[in-house]
Structure formats: C-alpha cells, structure tokens
Amino acid sequence: MAGETTKTKGVCLNIYPWSKTSHIVSWLTPKGKITTSVKGAARPKSAFLGQYDLNYECEIVYYLGAKGDVHALRECAPTVLREELRLDYKKLLLAEHFRAVAESLVPSGPDAKNWFDLLTDSLDRLRVDCNLIAEMLSFEIKALELTGLSPKIEAYSGSFALRGERRLPVSREVAQCISDPRSEKKFEILLDASRVIGVFYIFHLDEVPRTRRFVLQAIQQ
C-alpha cells in the first residue's frame, strides 16, 4: 500500500542525477529491481552522504510510491562497501558489466533472489586476486542459466548448440572451459570461450551487452 515502508537489502546498480541535489538510485534486491528517489542526497549535511555508491550492498528502508515505480528512500546503511574494486579499473569495468547484465535480465518475484545471490557473490569474488576473464565467463554462463537459456555444450562432438538446429563448432578445450571457466588457466582458451558466449548472446538475446566489449578490451591490454 502506498505510504507504507519496506525494509530490505539491496545492491546499488546505478545512480542518476535528479536535480542539483537529488538522485534516482536503482537497486537489486532479493525480490527484484526497485528504483528510489533520494531528495537532497548531495547537500553537505544530507544523512545520505557516503551511505550508498555503485557496488555497495546496503540495508534500505523506503516508502512505497503512490504513483509509478519510484519510491522515496527513507534510510540507508551500507553493509558491504567493496572498496577494493576502486583500486583496479579493470575490476570496476567488470563490476559494471555484472550490474548491467543483472539490471537488464533480472525478473521480479522469487526468482530475483537467485540473481541477487549471483551478483553479490560475483562482486565479492572480484575483491581478491582472480582471473577476470574466467570470472566474467562464470557470471555470464550462470546468468544465462537463470534466464532459462543454459548453453548446451557437447564436448565429445566439438559443437555448441545455438537457436533451433544451428550449431557452432568449438574445440574440446573450449567446450570444457565453458563447462567450468575457473578451472581453465590458458588465456587464449578463455578468450575463445568468451567469443563463443558472445555469439550465444547474439543468437538468443539479439545483442551483446555494450559493457562486455569494454571489459574484454581492458582485459587484453
């Protein structure tokens, strides 16, 4: 009901300017995406200063909006800051890619909990030393599984199922990499696997996420 308050945890997906001192903030919560307005967020004495930022996980309280899907944020307290990501621009780019994929594909309702868990786990894995392209592939494959588009990999025949009866030939090594990206150590195999997943995106989702290209370019530098 409009005017009631709701408390939940959420990951900050995006922050948009609303006015000179206010923000619109989108969140991924265990129940789905929500959008909140934060009036006076940029004022020097605002209670919200430093309380949210991209990749932060927060406890939030918001008023249900009477009209539309934008709700007024009442309280916000960060619980996981993930400040380590700010020390590596490649990790920041990959975190942006994770958030962009989640924001575009996550459904509302109980299935959103799986997306929330995937995003928080994937962001947390970036906080320590890791193989970035393997982490990207692992996230993307799990995201495709959550959409019901799990890639069908047939390593024994060296092929990769696409839409309908179309198949993409791949090496046994690439097929095995797609089955378990984090176990693969060879960069070229990981890169080939990323190209295969890119083709899968085009065939099943009609486009490759824009952020993906930037991540791959940065990783190869």
pLDDT of residue 3: 63
Taking the mean position of all CA atoms in its chain, how far away is CA 133? 15
- Model pLDDT, residue 126: 98
Structural tokens at position 95: 């975190």
Domain boundaries, given as residue ranges, for the chain = 5-81, 84-220
> What are the distances in angstroms from CA 163 to CA 67, 75, 168, 220?
40, 46, 10, 29
| Model pLDDT, residue 187 | 96
Write down the pLDDT at residue 2. 54
Q: Coil, helix or strand for 16?
A: strand
Structure tokens at 46: 């605002």
Quote the pLDDT of residue 163. 55
Q: Which residues pair with 10 in a beta bridge?
A: 58
Rounded to whole angstroms, the Cα distance separating 204 from 200 reads 6
What's the topology of domain 5-81? OB fold (Dihydrolipoamide Acetyltransferase, E2P) (2.40.50)
Structure tokens at 50: 């430093």
Q: What is the pLDDT of residue 154?
A: 53
Ranges in the chain, pLDDT < 50: 1, 155-156
The Cα–Cα gap between 45 and 59 comes to 21
Beta bridge partners of 36: 25, 71
Q: How far apart are CA 143 and CA 140, in angstroms?
A: 5
Alpha helix stretches (DSSP H) within the chain: 89-105, 112-125, 132-146, 172-179, 187-205, 210-220
Task: Say how far apart CA 151 and CA 181 lie, in whole Å.
Answer: 13
